[in-house]
Amino acid sequence: MGDLWCLNRVARLFIPAPRARMLGQWEVAMTTRQVTYDRAYGSLVRTATQSGIEVKPVYTPQDIADIDYERDIGLPGQYPFTRGIYPEMYRNRLWLKAFIVCYATPEETNRAFKEYIAAGQTGLRILTDTTTLSGVDPDHPLARYDIMCNGNPTFALTEYETMLDGIPLEDVDYESANSTPSGSFFTAVFLVGLVEKMGCDIKRLRGTNINDPIQAFILYGTPEFPMDLARRVTTDLIEFGAKYTPRWHPSTPDGYNMRDAGIDTFRELAFCIANIIQYYGDAIKERGVKLDDFRPMVFSTSAESDFFETACKFRALRRMWARIAKERLGATKPDSMKCRIAIRTAANSMYPQKPINNTARVAYQILGAVLGGVQSIDPSGIDEVFGEPSPESRIFELDIQHIIAHELNVPLVADPLAGSYYVEWLTKRIEEGTWKILNEIDAQGGMWAALKSGWLKQQFDIPTINLYKEIEEGKRLIVGVNSFKGEDGAISRAIIDSAYKVPADPKRFGAIDKVKRLRATRDERKVVDSLNELYRATRDGENIVRPAIEAAKAYATVGEMVGAIRMASGYCYDPYEMVQTPPFMKHLEPSANR
Amino acid sequence: MTTQTRKIKVVLGKVGFDPHDRGVIVLTHALRDAGMEVIFLGKFQTAERVVKAAIDEDADVIALSDHCGVMRLIATDVMAELKRRDATDIVVVAGGIIPEEDIPYLESLGVTGNYRAGTSFQEIIDHITSRVKKERWREV
């Protein structure tokens, strides 16, 4: 641990008196000085970080006097992992360059994956369209608006076959961004189904499933799996993952989406950790799994524009998780006390006014994440606020990361910010604020209870409204938006025009014909048998992941599988109560089974 | 009722499966703070339900939000339903992620504003107020 930190400690031991006198004189000078903020010179408008942490003009050894290097910071690769989870950090392995690839059709998405892999993409992140994410098929009456929006409609295994055709399935990192309750479930079901169908080994399926129904109830609100069902399906996925897919993480919290909705960093971390305690706590209690059954936990979080807050957040998260995993969730292996951090850069920080500025935002956000020692980076597109990121903007985001790695030389040294008085103080301050929220959640009996009582929703709405008020009132400056405004030039115009737009309606509605064609050509006997089995397993309280995989292999659709699971739980077929049960599933209706 | 105390009534709705509702939640509060009466219908609405709610509530304004880039289709359906129910006097405004090339078409339907992220609330409030005063209340 020979670094600046040690020198500070030595200094404090041997020359305390002059330092105290020096600080005292400085403090007197500061308090008697008249500070005027002159906007004409571009003065700062705030003295707090993005999450409202008031900060002093300077930090000194006194601010970190209660931090013990060995106990609180330590070395990379060692408990409590504040400085990173690998001894040599990025020297051995750079972060995954993982972003969502989700164009309107599985064919386009397949071509894009191949192009991006060639350009350096190492984490393949899947996002389905908004319709499928909501638990229905393209021929649902409400689907016409959102078919092919934000992704391609992966309503059946056929679409995964096309989307991942020719791309290795083993030993490649697949990440899912489908974070509604059914979205997470079907990503796992289709991926495992495809791996098996191609004759590959599901033990070698690698990656992460964002699976965070509590977050989804607040932010998506899709009704396909009501709370009891969503809770059970999540526990099923964790149990299945522990037994059969040791390298595919079955459930990671979606801190990114929560943060993007406008909450502060304390709540982002606290809700992530509390959700993990809830989901894995359920599985440990009810299914006999152990945290040691899994590879290091994955946290999906956000990288924001506030530079130091972003970098420090990841240090705080690792330290907190290590303690919680060990002391609360019974981890005994060091690996289970580590967490891998996957970030997405903040899409809500990208603005349509002077979009050229988004290039600076995304680059600094990535840099903050790298300085914080994260394992996976998914940047927002500089044109994302106008549509899906264009191929060039995706390649540009990869290049930012290549520049940081190979030109800036930032990853050469682990946790290079450690030992800074401010960074260590801020890391601790974020941790303290997060513990406070965690204790509030514990007092309520966990996150499902906090969701049901309405407390959680309030935690989201109030900060979101305050955030926008601050922007409106000029207490938070956004360049080009509420300050430093200007016209779009040729470069900004090109960014606006290059975003990938939702296709015209005739192409979008092609998916309706496609699902109808599938229904007409598949082996209906197999479909009905497998849906019957999915229904039975759901009704009898068995783990439903395997029966759903078998139904997917028989080409049952998302809407049909959702319907079977719902009916076996006493709900009607269609979550949106707009379509009738299909004739071949009529016998599964709750009324037919009374 | 005098014009000073008369409140503008706005029905906010999201048609289809687009889950992004932070903008519409914040706007609901901003319009309320500006003295309007606001009803947010929630997500997963149909065009029919939005129009029915606006008529039932005797609303002055329908405000539509969409982040999927398909306001073109949503607005077409809402305007057709308003026509069918003989309620074209209701002012319709929109916001979210709206492709620029769709804006002339939306304007031609009578759907105005078409705001994107970063627009100040005051701009939206002023626009709604001026359209309602001119078209609904016949004030100059």
- Structural contact between residues A106 and A163, judged by C-beta atoms closer than 8 angstroms: yes
**A206-210, strands of its sheet edge to edge:** A248-252, A206-210, A173-176, A123-126, A96-101, A376-378, A339-345, A297-303
Mean pLDDT, range A35-46, rounded to an integer? 70
Mean pLDDT of chain A: 93
The token pair that represents A45 in the structure block: 């408008």
Question: What would you measure as the largest C-alpha separation in chain A, in angstroms?
Answer: 86
The per-residue pLDDT for B6 is: 85
Query: How many angstroms separate the Cα of A593 from the Cα of each of A494, A569, A570, B123?
Result: 59, 12, 10, 56
**For residue range A571-592, what is the model confidence (pLDDT) as tens digits?**
999 999 999 999 999 999 988 7
Contact (CB<8Å) A146/B18: yes
- Structural contact between residues A148 and A137, judged by C-beta atoms closer than 8 angstroms: no
pLDDT tier at A351 (50, 70, 90 boundaries)? Answer: very high
Partners of A461 on chain B (C-beta within 8 Å) are 25
Contact (CB<8Å) A150/B68: yes
Question: Is the pLDDT assigned to residue A9 strictly greater than 80?
Answer: no
Partners of A150 on chain B (C-beta within 8 Å) are 68
- Structural contact between residues A238 and A278, judged by C-beta atoms closer than 8 angstroms: no
**For residue range A258-290, what is the model confidence (pLDDT) as tens digits?**
999 999 999 999 999 999 999 999 999 999 999
Assess whether the previous peptide bond of A153 is cis (omega < 30° from 0): no
Minimal CA separation from B1 to chain A, in Å: 31
Which of B29, B70, B117 faces A145 most closely, judged by CB atoms? B70
Minimal CA separation from B135 to chain A, in Å: 28
Partners of A136 on chain B (C-beta within 8 Å) are 17
Q: Where are the domains of chain B?
A: 9-136
- Structural contact between residues A538 and A566, judged by C-beta atoms closer than 8 angstroms: no
User: In this structure, which topology does domain A36-96+254-486 adopt according to CATH?
Assistant: TIM Barrel (3.20.20)
Query: How many angstroms separate the Cα of B122 from the Cα of each of A473, B9, B36?
Result: 11, 17, 13
Question: Is the pLDDT assigned to residue A182 strictly greater than 70?
Answer: yes
**For residue range A512-554, what is the model confidence (pLDDT) as tens digits?**
999 999 999 999 999 999 999 999 999 999 999 999 999 999 9
Q: How many CB pairs under 8 A join A and B?
A: 100
ipTM of the complex: 0.92
Q: Which residue has the tokens 């409204």?
A: A465
Contact (CB<8Å) B17/A133: yes
pTM: 0.93
Round to whole Å and give the CA distance between A357 and A337: 39
Q: Where are the domains of chain A?
A: 36-96+254-486, 519-593
The per-residue pLDDT for A13 is: 43
Contact (CB<8Å) B25/A505: no
**For residue range A410-443, what is the model confidence (pLDDT) as tens digits?**
999 999 999 999 999 999 999 999 999 999 999 9
Q: Hey, what's the torsion of the CAs at A473, A479, A481, A483, to 10 degrees?
A: 50
The per-residue pLDDT for A41 is: 64
Q: Does B120 reach chain A within 8 Å, measured CB to CB?
A: yes
Query: How many angstroms separate the Cα of A88 from the Cα of each of A24, A335, A416?
Result: 40, 15, 12
Residues of chain B with pLDDT under 50: 1-2
Q: pLDDT: is A24 or B90 the higher one? A: B90
Q: Which CATH architecture has domain B9-136?
A: 3-Layer(aba) Sandwich (3.40)
**For residue range A442-474, what is the model confidence (pLDDT) as tens digits?**
999 999 999 999 999 999 988 888 888 899 899
Residue B47 phi/psi, 5° resolution? -60, -40
